Amino acid sequence: MRVKKRSRHRKAVKFYATCFGFREPYKVLVDGTFVHHLLTQRLLPADDALRDLLSAARTPALFTSKCVVAELRRLGKSYADDFDAAQLLATANCEHDKVVSAVNCVLSLIGDKNPEHFFVATQDADLREKLREIPGVPVIYGLKNSLFIEQPSVQQRKFAQLDEEKRLNMDISEYKKLLKVTSEGKTAASETGSDGDQRERPISSLVKSALGVAEKSKFKRNRAKGPNPLSCKKKKPKPQTSGVQNQGAKADGESKRKRVRKRKRSHNDNKQAETTS
């Protein structure tokens, strides 16, 4: 599988996982046309091929329905291998008393919002076109010896965007609750305004309690503390006697170092001294 194709498939799977809640192990609903394609192109084992397609860590579960198996049985001996392979798959409960066509059976299992989070694997072009209009239905199809995931359609992207905006914005019922709570908060504030001991309850807490929002627990941050004063010793002052001794030693050394210079007398000076004497 090429790198670009694999990245496209991963983006598609991530879109359905983020917007519609698809989780591993994935469920793949298979019809008779896709089983026939797997056998003719020898894409076996099918669960390993689908796991590589979905880039899944766990092997996806393959499902079919009793209506799909009955349709393969009616096709005769030419599709006997397809019938035998379909019988080995898990059967989804379609709840049809009478056998219906495979297309109608798959659409009934998907419903309006695909509550079971099925990946639908089919080669039927009409069925694929109908599934594009249903939000949250990823479609898998085969082309020769390769498998592909259809990119999300425009309808599915619009539905995901509207759903996200709906979750972000306030609902009408929530807005009515907010108005009711704010009015109650104002009346409570006016009643308890004269009483000095009672305090007004903040409106934000009233709104959270009405909407059922749990308050976050406040955690104290461990800030850096100063050193323990008991473990820190004060600096002791140095004794002054040592300084005095040093000063005395320096004075003695300076006195010892002093030299007495003797003046050298010349021969003329000696004669003058003798004459004076």
Strand locations in 203-277, DSSP E? Answer: none
Q: How confident is the model at residue 198 (pLDDT cuts 50, 70, 90)?
A: very low
Cα Rg of the chain, angstroms: 47
Percent of the chain with pLDDT over 90: 46
pLDDT surpasses 80 at 207: no
pLDDT surpasses 50 at 197: no
pLDDT surpasses 50 at 270: yes
pLDDT surpasses 50 at 240: yes
pLDDT of residue 274: 61
pLDDT surpasses 70 at 235: yes
What gap in Å lies between CA 28 and CA 65, rounded to an integer?
12
What is the tens place of the pLDDT at every residue in 170-184? 677 777 787 787 777
Question: What is the average pLDDT value for the chain, to the nearest integer?
Answer: 80
More confident residue, 68 or 240: 68
pLDDT surpasses 90 at 24: yes
Among 46, 118, 121, residue whose Cα is nearest residue 85 = 46
pTM of the shown model = 0.61
Residues 6+ apart with CB under 8 A from 151: 8, 12
Q: How confident is the model at residue 196 (pLDDT cuts 50, 70, 90)?
A: very low
More confident residue, 173 or 206: 173
Residues 6+ apart with CB under 8 A from 79: 32, 36, 72
Q: Which whole number is the average pLDDT over 163-171?
A: 74
Output phi, psi for 91, to 5 deg: -105, 125
Output phi, psi for 76, to 5 deg: 100, -165
Strand locations in the chain, DSSP E? Answer: 27-30, 61-65, 90-92, 118-121, 139-143, 146-149
What is the tens place of the pLDDT at every residue in 120-145? 999 999 999 999 999 899 999 999 89
